[in-house]
Amino acid sequence: MSTHGDDEKGGVSRRGFLGGVAGFIGVTAVGSTAEATPVPKAEIYEASGLSKLTLQVNGRTHSLLVEPRWTLLYVLRDRLGLTGTKPGCERGECGACTVLFDGVTRYSCMTLALEAEGHEITTIEGIMAGEALGPVQQSFADEDAFQCGYCTPGQIVAVEGLLRQNASPSIDEVREGVSGNLCRCGAYGHIFKAAMRAAAMKQVS
């Protein structure tokens, strides 16, 4: 069923507007000291049911239907098929789910998909240089900066975010910059080296 012409096929837009105190609209009595406050209207996404959402991911616009409780991690992987972003702890402790939000790193497991509207999201898939590996990806390969590779997409996105803020970090700044990304295989030494190499590569290109 579609309530509005622009809804996605089969979807129901439940994004409504919730008024504050609807009964008081426009009852300003002349000379009254009690000021009639305009009814606040906030966008509200209902708990059960799907709301329409537009996401900008890796330069592409996606329209989809989401529940308020869905995380960005879930939506990226299970709704948009962008499985490069990994679920690890799903409680903000490991960094496997790291994405860029307007170029700044954050954990997608603790971000509601709804909060991502209006922001440019970049995932590991989005930091390729066309079909080729991006500089950070290439330096991870060159430095063997992984063993099992599970933490790697998150590490690469964290380094990408760091280098966008600080193009030539010191080794301590690199350590700090990836301190929100755990590696169970303990490839840290190589990860730090890869980050330094990526900084150098980016400076050249």
**83 contacts ligand FES (rule: CB under 6 A):** no
The type of residue at 118 is G
Task: Please pick, from the candidates 152, 153, 177, 192, the single residue that binds another protein as defined by CB under 8 A.
Answer: 177
- Cβ partners under 8 Å of residue 126, min gap 6: 57, 58, 59, 100
- Residue 43 CB, shortest distance to ligand FAD, in Å, is 18
Kindly determine how many residues on this chain lie close enough to bind ligand FES according to the rule CB under 6 A: 23
Q: How many CA atoms lie within 13 A of 182 on its CB side?
A: 9
Sign of CA dihedral 121, 82, 195, 98: positive
Question: Quick one: 45 or 74, whose CB is closer to ligand FES?
Answer: 74
Q: Are strands 51-57 and 60-66 parallel, antiparallel or unpaired?
A: antiparallel
Which residue type sits at 16?
G
Q: Does 113 bind ligand FES (CB under 6 A)?
A: no
Contact status: 9 vs another protein (CB under 8 A) = no
125 binds, among ligand FES, another protein, ligand FAD, none (CB under 5 to 8 A by kind): none
Is-contact 190 143, C-beta < 8 A?
yes
Q: Which does 69 bind (CB under 5 to 8 A by kind): ligand FAD, ligand FES, another protein, none?
A: another protein
User: If we measure between CA atoms, which residue out of 126, 121, 138, 125 comes closest to residue 202?
Assistant: 138
Indicate which single residue of 7, 12, 79, 115 sits in contact with another protein (rule: CB under 8 A): 115
Element housing 63 (H / E): strand 60-66
How many contiguous H segments (helices) and E segments (strands) does the chain have? 5, 7
- Interface residues for another protein in 54-73 (CB under 8 A)? 67-69, 71, 73
101 lines the binding site for ligand FES (CB under 6 A): no
Q: Under the criterion CB under 6 A, does residue 88 sit at the interface with ligand FES? A: yes
Considering only 24-32, 114-122, 129-137, 180-188, which stretch makes contact with ligand FES by CB under 6 A? 180-188
- Determine contact, residues 116/99, Cβ cutoff 8 Å: no
Question: Which one of residues 101, 107, 140, 192 is an interface residue with ligand FES (CB under 6 A)?
Answer: 107
Which residue has 């997409």 as its token pair? 153
Give contact residues for ligand FES (rule: CB under 6 A). Answer: 87-90, 92-97, 107, 109, 146-152, 183-185, 187
